[in-house]
């Protein structure tokens, strides 16, 4: 824990401890993400960070609202109740207070949601990494198994091989359960398989448990799973390339041809109507195209399998 996390835990640790059942999904995500921070500490940090972000955001937006007199930019044409006319002279004060309250709630809420979602994002990235590196990791342990190395030592050596990424991390947790906590290999595999984010790794560990328990040919099992996962990876890559081609066509239609047609149409309409400020054209150029392109980038990034 760093100093900020210690402060947060001292201030809010007791309150966070009472929320274990309410945030069961968060606890599970912290475990599958292999984040080395206790649940109470993480939730306390989320509470304190959200409060600080909310206060800072509310102060900054309140000062901006007051300094630039933003409420005066809002005009209403039509009949209004008498009490609104009476309080209109305090519009700057009222607007500033509303800006502070709304920004406090929105910024604090968004910050807290980010803290809640972040472990699941990390776990999802770990799942992709495990699925991508697992065939190569199994090939590595197949070679060791063929040489007659005991299963516990196989997983220990895999955990010490950083080139296999998150697959090595899962194997390192298996060896840690054996070496530090005195569990046998089957219990260690069962525990890690219940917390890994990858269904492939879970299936592989459970199959390894069955082979070790029954005394089956573990080397042949490793070789079979390596071939299976390699084939699945090739199929995933092919499916991704086909999907990427479809997304590329959609991007050309939605973000190139479509906006170009709308820009030409809106330009002609603005000329015919003598419109000095074509708002819709500004929306297309400054909002639709940039944010649409960003969304396509995020979509492709989330779909791209690990190399």
Kindly report, residue by residue over 69-106, the tens digit of the pLDDT: 877 766 666 565 655 555 666 778 888 899 999 999 99
Same-domain check for residues 196 and 258: no
Same-domain check for residues 136 and 33: no
d(CA 278, CA 267): 8
Listed residues 187, 206, 229: the one ending a domain: 229
**Helix H or strand E segment including 129:** helix 91-146
Listed residues 90, 121, 152: the one ending a domain: 121
Same-domain check for residues 80 and 110: yes
Same-domain check for residues 83 and 183: no
Same-domain check for residues 69 and 28: yes
Per-residue pLDDT at 78 = 58
Phi, psi of 244 (to 5 degrees): -65, -40
Same-domain check for residues 207 and 264: no
Handedness of CA 184, 162, 31, 10 (dihedral sign): positive
Same-domain check for residues 193 and 149: yes
Per-residue pLDDT at 256 = 86
Per-residue pLDDT at 144 = 93
Q: How many percent of the chain have pLDDT more than 70?
A: 93
210 is in which domain, residue-wise? 127-229
How many domains in the chain? 3
Mean pLDDT of 266-287: 80
CA angle 71, 77, 82 (to 5 degrees): 80
Same-domain check for residues 239 and 224: no
**Span 10-67, pLDDT tens digits:** 999 999 999 999 999 999 999 999 998 999 999 999 999 999 999 999 999 999 988 8
Handedness of CA 33, 38, 43, 49 (dihedral sign): negative
DSSP class per residue in 140-174: HHHHHHHTT--HHHHHHHHHT-GGGHHHHHHHHHH
Per-residue pLDDT at 90 = 73
Per-residue pLDDT at 164 = 92
| Structure-token pair, residue 265 | 């149409």
Listed residues 60, 88, 121: the one ending a domain: 121
Same-domain check for residues 7 and 117: yes
Per-residue pLDDT at 38 = 93
Same-domain check for residues 132 and 221: yes
Same-domain check for residues 145 and 218: yes
Contact present, 211 and 221 (Cβ < 8 Å): yes
């Amino acid at each position: 824990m760093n100093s900020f996390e210690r402060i947060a835990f001292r201030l809010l640790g007791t309150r966070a401890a009472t929320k274990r059942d309410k945030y069961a999904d968060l606890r599970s995500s912290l475990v599958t993400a292999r984040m080395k921070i206790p649940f109470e500490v993480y939730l306390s940090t989320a509470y304190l960070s959200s409060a600080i972000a909310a206060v800072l955001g509310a102060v900054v937006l309140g000062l901006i609202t007051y300094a630039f007199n933003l409420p005066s930019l809002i005009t209403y044409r039509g009949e209004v109740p008498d009490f609104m006319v009476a309080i209109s002279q305090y519009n700057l004060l009222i607007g500033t207070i509303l800006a502070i309250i709304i920004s406090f709630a929105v910024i604090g809420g968004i910050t807290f949601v980010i803290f809640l979602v972040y472990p699941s994002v990390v776990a999802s990235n770990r799942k992709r990494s495990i699925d991508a590196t697992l065939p190569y990791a199994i090939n590595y342990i197949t070679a060791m198994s063929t040489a007659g190395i005991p299963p516990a030592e196989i997983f220990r050596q895999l955990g010490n091989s950083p080139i296999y990424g998150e697959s090595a991390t899962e194997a390192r947790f298996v060896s840690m359960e054996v070496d530090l906590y005195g569990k046998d290999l089957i219990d260690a595999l069962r525990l890690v398989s219940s917390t890994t984010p990858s269904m492939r790794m879970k299936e592989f560990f459970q199959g390894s448990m069955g082979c070790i328990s029954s005394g089956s040919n573990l080397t042949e099992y490793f070789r079979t799973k390596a071939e299976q996962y390699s084939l699945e990876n090739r199929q995933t890559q092919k499916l991704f390339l086909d999907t990427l081609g479809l997304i590329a066509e959609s991007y050309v239609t939605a973000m190139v041809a479509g906006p170009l047609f709308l820009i030409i149409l809106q330009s002609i309409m603005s000329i015919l109507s003598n419109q000095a400020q074509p708002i819709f054209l500004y929306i297309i150029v400054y909002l639709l195209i940039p944010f649409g392109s960003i969304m396509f980038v995020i979509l492709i990034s989330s779909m791209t399998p690990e190399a």
